[in-house]
Structure 1
Amino acid sequence: MFIGPRRAVLIGTIAAVALTIILLPLIFALTSPDLDLVTVRLDRVALMSVEDEGADLRTSFVLENPTDQTATTSRIDFELFADGTSLGPHTISYDDIPVNGRPAIFGKDSVTVSETFTVKVEDAGLLKKISDNPETIKWRAKGIAQIESTLTLVEKPFENEI
């Protein structure tokens, strides 16, 4: 069977597109930054105000990027603990913000992200301790942060105590 020049160009084009579709994820995997090296840690918890059944707390997380590539975060889902007592799940979300407006984690640098939220504290003794002497509390956060760079998304689990 004879293949004409038009048919050869068409077959070559289809093969090139198919090869690109097949190899593109491999190319991105080989050239993407190692976002697993980014670390997330609870930096501080500050008491903003105390109410009858709860408190307004401002949590701050430090995201450190030891790679050369710039990354960002779209959300941090975490559970906050005060002296071992869970204060419930919370989220710091940048999902509705375009990528260029999210906190940039530049290469070889770190960034602090903070959020204020209200927690319900059912233990009256713990609420009194939070309001009277919050610096003596052992704060712990456990969760998952979504770290992004160009075409790569990594869910980074973390857990630490301050």
Structure 2
Amino acid sequence: MSLTWARAVAEEELASTLPRRWVHSCGVAHRAGDLATLLGDDADLLSAAAVLHDVGYAPRLARTGFHPLDGARFLRDEHGGDSRLVRLVANHSFALLEAEERGLRAVLETEFPLLEDQQLVDALVWCDMTTTPDGEPTSAGERVAEIVSRYGAESVVGRFIRRAAPEIFAAVERVEAALAAQPR
């Protein structure tokens, strides 16, 4: 499954119905390009997951109302998506914690187990959590604050993101340390 395919699928599902979500997804994919030398052979996989990570928000795909699960099922069931790609989409940005808030953790863990490649998982967190809803780069702290502000601190998403924040910040720090350690 190529990056061209992934971009076409994401655009088809998001561009007309959720244009801001599409712009965010494009920004996340752009950030993935910044990690290409760090990830080597997995750079295209990261870029594909980045552009597809929010596809489950598409109105026609929303079954459970939990976009990582809905998106991963769509990619698996309608497109025969690569297992690693589908699992990245399903588990992006500590989705297990949000799944727990929604009573869906066991479902997500069973259908889409976490990848064991911490660098790849961290890379997608970094891409998503350092990109604004308008596709622009930001800090992870500003992104978490924006999410809490948009959804409300006591909403399901607000509770999840506050719980996930320490893990998000740690993942972002690991990626930024790896980037800083690369030869220039």
Give the TM-score of the pair, scaled to structure 2. 0.21
Higher strand proportion (structure 1 or 2): 1
* Structure with larger RCO (C-alpha < 8 A, sep 6+): 1
Higher helix proportion (structure 1 or 2): 2
Give the TM-score of the pair, scaled to structure 1. 0.22
State which structure, 1 or 2, has the greater radius of gyration over its C-alpha atoms. Answer: 1
